[in-house]
Amino acid sequence: MAYDSTLAGRLALVTGAGTGIGLGIAESLGRAGADVVLHYAASAEGARSGAAAIVRAGRRATTIQADLATVAECRRLVDEAVSFLGGLDILVNNAGVTLTKPLLDVTEEDYDRVFEINMRAMFFCTQSAVPHLRARSHGAIINLSSIHGQTGEAGHTVYGATKAANLGFTRECAQELAPLGIRVNAVAPGLIEVPRYFRTMPHYTREWGDSVVPLGRAGLPEDVGAVVVFLASDAASFITGQTINVDGGTSTRLALFPRQQ
């Protein structure tokens, strides 16, 4: 894929960049000319592969491991990323965990784990990044939510609640940080084919994914990455506090009847 200069010289941190959507976002930012720090929790191999691809393209990249369930680790991650990059222009809050479980079966531990990673880590990574983003002239924060934050599906009470919280946080930060010259937007993916699907969804196939998305194909991480690049770029300089759904039209469907399987 061709590289361009949309984000030439920009400095980016992507959380949860060891696999799936986060890895796709990091590589998209690198293709657009940014230097990138790829955070990972456990997926070291994927993060290093992504960093190597960015370096081969002539940009700087490195990986940092951190457990973002701990606030001190959120702060350490941002500090180490800024130390490597020499500043920060772009923060992509992508790190997250998924839980599919009936409401009555959710434990206190389940609840805490999902909120710690999906919402609390976003909050404190953002808080830690703001002074660095403010110091430069292109501050942009992109928060990864989900269409589960806007719609309902059985078994997603905790996960959906965190993703709705991400959207509220995005709007509030957009208002508070606008005077500092920092834009804050959200991306809400729908069905985006990632390796986890094949591990945790025995029925999943590309053909099935294509069949349930109105546009006729499953989404891919680079679909999300392209939108993140746009939101981080000067082309989106008058956009803040918004959510862009990247779902092939899934969230527009009127769910009066069961979808075809």
DSSP the chain: -----TTTT-EEEESS-SSHHHHHHHHHHHHTT-EEEEEESS-HHHHHHHHHHHHHTT--EEEEE--TTSHHHHHHHHHHHHHHHTS-SEEEE---------GGG--HHHHHHHHIIIIIHHHHHHHHHHHHHHTSS--EEEEE--GGGTS--TT-HHHHHHHHHHHHHHHHHHHHHGGGT-EEEEEEE-SB--HHHHHH-TT--HHHHHHHSTTSS-B-HHHHHHHHHHHHSGGGTT--S-EEEESTTGGG--TTSPPP-
**Is 226 part of a structural domain of the chain?**
yes
40 has pLDDT over 60: yes
Q: Which two tokens stand for residue 19?
A: 């696999």
**Is 251 part of a structural domain of the chain?**
no
Which candidate in 40, 159, 197, 233 is catalytic?
159
**pLDDT-derived band at 1, boundaries 50, 70, 90:** very low
Which candidate in 128, 163, 197, 233 is catalytic?
163
257 has pLDDT over 60: no
**Is 247 part of a structural domain of the chain?**
no
**Is 66 part of a structural domain of the chain?**
yes
**Is 193 part of a structural domain of the chain?**
yes
199 has pLDDT over 70: yes
**CA 51, 84, 29, 175 torsion-angle sign:** positive
pLDDT, the chain, mean: 92
List, for residues 85-97, the tens digit of each pLDDT value: 999 999 999 999 9
- For residues 198 and 252, the model is more confident at 252
Q: Looking at residue 258, what is its pLDDT?
A: 52
Which candidate in 28, 43, 146, 233 is catalytic?
146
76 has pLDDT over 70: yes
Q: Looking at residue 239, what is its pLDDT?
A: 98
**Is 132 part of a structural domain of the chain?**
yes
Burial 178-215 (b: 16+ CB within 10 A, else e): eeeebbbbbbbbbbbbbeebeeeeeebeeeebeebbee
The rounded distance, in Å, linking the Cα atoms of 97 and 168 is 19
**pLDDT-derived band at 34, boundaries 50, 70, 90:** very high
Tell me the mean pLDDT in the region 190-195.
87
Q: What residues does 144 pair with on adjacent strands? A: 187
49 is catalytic: no
Tell me the mean pLDDT in the region 62-71.
98
159 is catalytic: yes
Q: Looking at residue 255, what is its pLDDT?
A: 62
The rounded distance, in Å, linking the Cα atoms of 172 and 166 is 10
Tell me the mean pLDDT in the region 54-79.
97
The rounded distance, in Å, linking the Cα atoms of 130 and 139 is 8
Into how many domains does the chain fold?
Answer: 1
pTM of the model: 0.93
261 has pLDDT over 60: no
83 is catalytic: no
Are 232 and 7 in contact, with CB atoms under 8 Å apart? yes
Q: Return the percentage of the chain with pLDDT > 70, whole number.
A: 95
Q: Looking at residue 200, what is its pLDDT?
A: 75
Q: Looking at residue 138, what is its pLDDT?
A: 86
Q: What is the CATH number of the domain that holds 110?
A: 3.40.50.720
Q: Looking at residue 2, what is its pLDDT?
A: 47
Q: Looking at residue 209, what is its pLDDT?
A: 84
Which candidate in 28, 43, 128, 145 is catalytic?
145
List, for residues 141-159, the tens digit of each pLDDT value: 999 999 887 887 776 899 9
163 is catalytic: yes
Range of the domain at 80: 11-241
- For residues 130 and 204, the model is more confident at 130
**Is 218 part of a structural domain of the chain?**
yes
Tell me the mean pLDDT in the region 103-117.
95
